[in-house]
Structures are given as C-alpha cells and as structure tokens.
C-alpha cells in the first residue's frame, strides 16, 4: 500500500474529524430520545490545504491522486498535525489496533513516531501505552509483556510484538503521542487540474478512513 | 430472557450488532459491527466463529414472540464476492441463513459478546445483483419463510420444545402441572401435544 506523500506538507494544521454513527429510537412527543451506538470506533477524515507551493509540488499530489484512480485506491495516510513538533505528532485517545486471534503476536500500530507510551517508572504512565481488553500491558522494568519497534511496520508505522498473543476476541488499543495512521482513500473521483488546485489551496483535499 | 439481555434491555449504553451466517458453499460469518466479533459458542445461540465486518444491511426484519421474518439481506459487492457466488454452479437460492443479535454489556471491553440471540433461521430466496450508479450490491431477497413454503421461525431444530412453558404464545398450556422437561413425551402426557414446539423427528427422538 502506498503512503500518502509526505511532501509537500499542508500549510495549515490538518482539519481532521472523527465520526461516530448512532442508531436512534425516534424523537418522541414527550421529548424522549433513545439511541445506541452503531460504531465502536470513529471514522477518521481529514481536509488538507496547501498554499504557496510551486507547480511541481502541486503536480506531485495530482500525480498521486491519479495513481490512486480517485476513490478506488487505498493508501496509508499519516495525520500531519504536529509533524514538525517535538515530540512529533499530538496526543491521541485510544486507537484501535485490532482484535486478537489467539495466534498473532506482531501488530502494526495505527501510528508512526510514537512517544509517551512508556514514560515514567515501572512501565510508564498508566494512561498511555498498549491496552488489551482495557488493561494496560507493561513494557517496563521486570515485566516486559511486549516489545516496541519504531517504524518497522508497514508504511513506516510503529509495531508491537507481544510475548503472548492476545486471545481471540480481545480488543487491542494504542494510546500515545505521534502521527496517527489510517488506511484511507480520496473522497472524490473527479478532479480537473484546475479544480484539484482549487481544492488543495482553498477548499481542502479530503481523505477518509477505510477500515476494512 | 438471558441475564445480560434482562439486565440491559433498557440501557441505551448497551451495544448490539447483527451477526449473519450464510451457508454458501463455504459458510460466511459477517457482522455489521465496525470491528470483528468473536463468539466461542458459549454466548447464547450463535456458534463459535469470528464474524468479519462487511458492508451488510439486514432490512425488513420483524420479530414476534414466536417467529421472525426477514425481507432482505443486502451485501456490498464492490469486490465481486457475491457475483462469484451467484455465477457459480451452486446458486445461493436455498442457502441457509441465520441472523443473530449480539449483545454487549455496557462495561464490556472485549469483542466477545455477552449474549447472542437467534433472530431468524431460514433459507435464502431469489438473489439479485445491482449496480445502481456507483454502488454495487447483492441482495438476497425474502427468505422463504415469507413465502410460506418453509420457515424455521425462531426455533432451533432440536427435538425439545423451545416454547416458554405456559407461555401465551406457543405453549398455551393452562393445566395444573408446574414443570415441563420440554420433551414430546411429557407434552403428550399433559395433553398439549398439538402445540408441541420442538421437532421430535430430529435425531430420532
């Protein structure tokens, strides 16, 4: 899978969103509104605006759009927020890594340039790191339950390898500071060069997560 | 009603998703959840399986006390998976389809549901491939139960009766007995065999 071009860099902070879905039981006359979640994890999307770039940089993005054949292509997209910060990226809430199979020990994380997952003593801040069914796994003194490898996953994603594979049905989540990575696609099929230029300079070039 | 459903039936935080099992040449296990759901066979009616997310919509399902009906199962076909099935030598018509509802307690942290409930067990009717605009879907039309030719209305194919004892729908027994072991023999001894809710010929029972 291709990685979305890392250069040029959007000139403004990426406007990203996370969208849930909710099933409603109706809006009733007495004011009662019942609802329940239809999605456990949100769908990520981003709008990217580039400005004051030369033609060759625009053309690189246009060429990438063409290579993906519009919406049909799937690529890895790394959120640009905090890309030049130190530490790199921003702090994210728990992100879905996957659902255990009972056999798979190595998992690519939905993040690159991860940091802050094991700061502090004895395995780090309990609010950050990798969680299996909501329980944080240790990666510190005397209790190493997983190994972390920076940038060794697909498309430069970070990777963890568990000592013992999470059992089937266990939900694996990752919380850290870094650049969030999702499998994504463009949201439009059509882009003349002029409209494409308008999109990336004014209205925003939009991508959305495609999880499966 | 199982413990989980009884305790969370009115809870807006409880999460429920559909599980769809269809016996094509190879059985598929799909869910409308956004992550895979894993069942071990011990969470109610659903068998042990890993239910993979896919674009699927179950519509027109109606559940009553004693039976359920389903109008259609719509499945994404952008990957031509369903096309391959429909164009194969074995038609999906007549393939057994089961729809379950998976219940997750509000505090649940894993992808293993607390309960699963069989909503419908039937046979696929006429399939239909559609390419409407830029959307490619396959629809398995009304399960045969709607046509009245064959339906397994929310009853497992087991020899024991699945009706609630003395329930107003199904059993309707109004005699003095206080217990029933759900066998055909006991039902007969109670004089209620006309409303027996099992399949006594199953397993030769």
Write down the pLDDT at residue B148.
33
CB neighbour list of residue B150: distance below 8 Å, 6 or more residues apart: B122, B123, B144
Same domain, A26 and A62: yes
Query: CA dihedral in degrees (A172, A175, A178, A181; nearest 10)?
Result: 30
Residues 80-119 of A with CB under 8 A from B: 96, 99, 101
Same domain, A193 and A146: no
Nearest chain A CA: its distance from B88 CA (Å): 25
In chain A, how many domains are there?
A: 2
Write down the pLDDT at residue A124.
55
Same domain, A50 and A73: yes
Same domain, A76 and A107: no
Look-up of token digits 């007495």: A30
The overall average pLDDT reported for chain A is 86
**Which of B38, B43, B105, B114 should one mutate to test binding to chain A, selecting the residue with the greatest count of A CBs within 10 A?**
B38
Beta-bridge partner residues of A206? A47
Same domain, A136 and A203: no
CB distance B190 to B180 below 8 Å: yes
DSSP chain A: -EEPP-SSPPSS--EEEEE--EEEEEE-TTS-EEEEES-SSPEEEEEE---S--HHHHHHHHHHHHHTTGGG--EEEE--TTTTSSSSSEE---EEEEE--SS--EEE-SEEEEESSS-SSTT--TTSEEEETTEEPPEETTEE-EEEETT-SGGG--EEEESSPPPTT-EEEEE-EEEEEEEEEES-S---HHHHHHIIIII-EEEEE---
Domain with A117, as residue range(s), is: 95-175
pLDDT digits (tens, 9 = 90+) for B147-172: 333 334 445 556 778 777 887 767 88
Same domain, A17 and A75: yes
Same domain, A64 and A24: yes
Write down the pLDDT at residue B110.
92
The two structure tokens encoding residue A10: 């959007």
Beta-bridge partner residues of B127? B140
For residue A49, tell me if it sits in a domain.
yes
Task: Provide the ipTM.
Answer: 0.82
pLDDT digits (tens, 9 = 90+) for B44-95: 889 999 999 988 888 776 666 555 666 688 888 888 888 887 777 667 777 8
Same domain, A104 and A71: no
For residue A161, tell me if it sits in a domain.
yes
Same domain, A71 and A99: no
> Which residue of A35, A170, A189 is in closest CB contact with B110?
A170
Q: Which of B9, B112, B204, B165 minimizes the C-alpha distance to A25?
A: B9
For residue A88, tell me if it sits in a domain.
no
pTM of the complete model: 0.76
For residue A57, tell me if it sits in a domain.
yes
Sort strands A43-48 and A15-19 into parallel, antiparallel or unpaired.
antiparallel
Phi, psi of B156 (to 5 degrees): -75, 150
- A40 to B33: CB separation less than 8 angstroms, yes or no: yes
For residue A113, tell me if it sits in a domain.
yes
CB distance B149 to B93 below 8 Å: no
> Which residue of B14, B38, B52 is in closest CB contact with A169?
B38
Write down the pLDDT at residue A211.
82
Distances (CA, A) of B175 to B36, B179, B186, B191: 47, 11, 13, 9
Same domain, A55 and A101: no
Which residues from chain A sit within 8 angstroms of residue B12, using beta carbons? 34-36
Percent above pLDDT 70 for chain B: 72
């Amino acid at each position: 899978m291709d990685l979305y071009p890392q250069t040029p860099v959007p000139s403004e902070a990426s406007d990203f969103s996370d969208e849930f879905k909710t099933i409603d039981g109706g809006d009733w006359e007495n004011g009662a509104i019942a609802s329940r979640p239809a999605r456990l994890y949100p769908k990520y999307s981003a709008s990217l605006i580039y400005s004051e770039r030369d033609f060759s940089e625009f053309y690189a993005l246009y060429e990438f759009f063409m290579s993906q054949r519009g919406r049909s292509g799937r690529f890895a997209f790394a959120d640009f927020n905090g890309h030049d910060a130190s530490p790199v990226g921003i702090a994210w809430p728990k992100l879905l890594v996957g659902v255990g199979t009972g056999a798979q020990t190595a998992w690519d994380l939905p993040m690159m340039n991860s940091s802050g997952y094991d700061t502090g003593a004895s395995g780090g801040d309990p609010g950050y790191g990798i969680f299996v069914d909501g329980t944080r796994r240790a990666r510190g003194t005397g209790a190493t339950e997983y190994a972390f490898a920076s940038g060794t996953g697909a498309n430069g994603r970070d990777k963890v390898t568990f000592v013992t594979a999470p059992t089937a049905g266990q939900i694996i989540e990752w919380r850290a500071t870094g650049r969030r990575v999702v499998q994504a696609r463009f949201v439009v099929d059509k882009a003349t060069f002029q409209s494409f230029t308008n999109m990336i300079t004014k209205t925003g070039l939009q991508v959305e997560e495609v999880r499966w | 009603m199982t413990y989980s459903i009884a305790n969370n039936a009115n809870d807006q935080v409880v999460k429920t998703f559909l599980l769809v099992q269809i016996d094509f040449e190879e059985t598929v296990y799909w869910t409308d959840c956004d992550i895979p759901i894993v069942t071990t066979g011990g969470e109610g009616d659903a068998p042990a399986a890993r239910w993979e997310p896919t674009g699927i919509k179950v519509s027109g399902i109606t559940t009553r006390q004693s039976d359920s009906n389903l109008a259609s199962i719509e499945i994404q076909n952008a990957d031509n998976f369903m096309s391959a099935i429909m164009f194969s030598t074995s038609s999906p018509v007549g393939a057994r389809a089961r729809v379950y509802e998976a219940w997750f307690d509000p505090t649940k942290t894993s992808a293993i549901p607390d309960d699963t409930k069989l909503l419908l067990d039937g046979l696929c009717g006429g399939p239909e491939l559609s390419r409407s605009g830029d959307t490619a879907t396959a629809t398995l039309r009304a399960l045969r139960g709607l046509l009245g030719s064959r339906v397994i209305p929310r009853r497992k194919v087991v020899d024991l009766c699945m009706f609630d004892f003395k329930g107003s729908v199904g059993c309707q027994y109004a005699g003095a007995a206080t217990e029933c072991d759900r066998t055909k023999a006991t039902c007969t001894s109670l004089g209620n065999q006309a409303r027996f809710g099992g399949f006594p010929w199953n397993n030769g029972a």
